[in-house]
Amino acid sequence: MNGQTAGQIIGYARVSTEDQNLDRQIEALGEVDRLFSEKISGKDLTGRSQLQEMLLYVRHGDTIRVKSPDRLARSTTDLLAFIEKMTGWGVSVEFVDNPALNTGSPQGKFMLTILGAVAELERATIRERRAEGIAIAKKKGTYKKGARITSDQISEARERIAVGVPKAQVARDLGISRQTLYSALSGTGAYAAT
């Protein structure tokens, strides 16, 4: 357990650029058992070394304390995914500036449920708009679905299938549907020229 005891308060502070100061956030976090801080853009969760180190450090029963939600994630979707992951690990998330979102309270759980519903509505709206755009393009005869995998990936898929790897497994490993794999292997649809 990395030499830590369960039930720690883990602080996380982040600013976007080197010339910004972390002191205000660190002061707002108050006393913590371990602090992770960094000066990096919040655009990407995976590219932040201190955030990733914190994720390796936290344990069931710990609480992550952050000044505000935007210090963790820029988008509601990313924030909710992060909180869901932490909740699944038995780790609470606490926001100094927005206690109504703290995962340890019934109000926080309620607010996060509402944010989750809003994010789902946003994703559904985007899917709907995309489908409408595709339908219009198909009607005009201008829609062309692009290839999802490269010719090298198709060759690799053929080799794996030849040695007995199931097509469903190959498709999963490539992150595509089985239908897309079949089209790629047969050279039809978007893969006709491949």
Strands (E), 24-91: 34-39, 63-66
- Residues 133, 135, 141, CA angle at the centre, nearest 5°? 105
More confident residue, 121 or 42: 121
The answer to whether position 20 is within a domain reads yes
The answer to whether position 122 is within a domain reads no
Taking 70 as the threshold, does the pLDDT of residue 34 lie above it? yes
Amino acid symbol at 29: L
The answer to whether position 53 is within a domain reads yes
d(CA 158, CA 111): 49
Residues with catalytic function: 16
The answer to whether position 80 is within a domain reads yes
- pLDDT interval class at 1 (50, 70, 90): very low
Region 109-130: mean pLDDT is 82
Region 94-119: mean pLDDT is 84
Same domain, 81 and 157: no
**The domain boundary residue, chosen from 99, 134, 161:** 99
Which CATH number does the domain housing residue 57 bear?
A: 3.40.50.1390
134-156 residues labelled b (16+ CB within 10 A) or e (exposed): eeeeeeeeeeeeebbbeeebbee
Q: Report pLDDT for 147.
A: 67
More confident residue, 194 or 75: 75
For residue 95, list its beta bridge partners.
Answer: 66
Q: Report pLDDT for 146.
A: 65
**The domain boundary residue, chosen from 62, 78, 99:** 99
Q: Report pLDDT for 64.
A: 96
- pLDDT interval class at 172 (50, 70, 90): confident
Residue 9 backbone phi and psi in degrees, to 5: -100, 120
Q: Report pLDDT for 89.
A: 94
The answer to whether position 106 is within a domain reads no
State which residues form the domain around 161.
Answer: 151-191
Residue 8 backbone phi and psi in degrees, to 5: -80, 155
**The domain boundary residue, chosen from 64, 99, 134:** 99
Q: Tokens for 176?
A: 């595509």
Strands (E), the chain: 9-15, 34-39, 63-66, 92-95
More confident residue, 182 or 35: 35
d(CA 48, CA 104): 25
CB atoms within 10 A of CB 116: 17
- Number of structural domains (the chain) is 2
Most trustworthy range by pLDDT among 57-66, 77-86, 113-122, 170-179:
57-66
Q: Are 48 and 38 in contact (CB under 8 A)?
A: yes
Tokens 């709206």 -> residue: 125
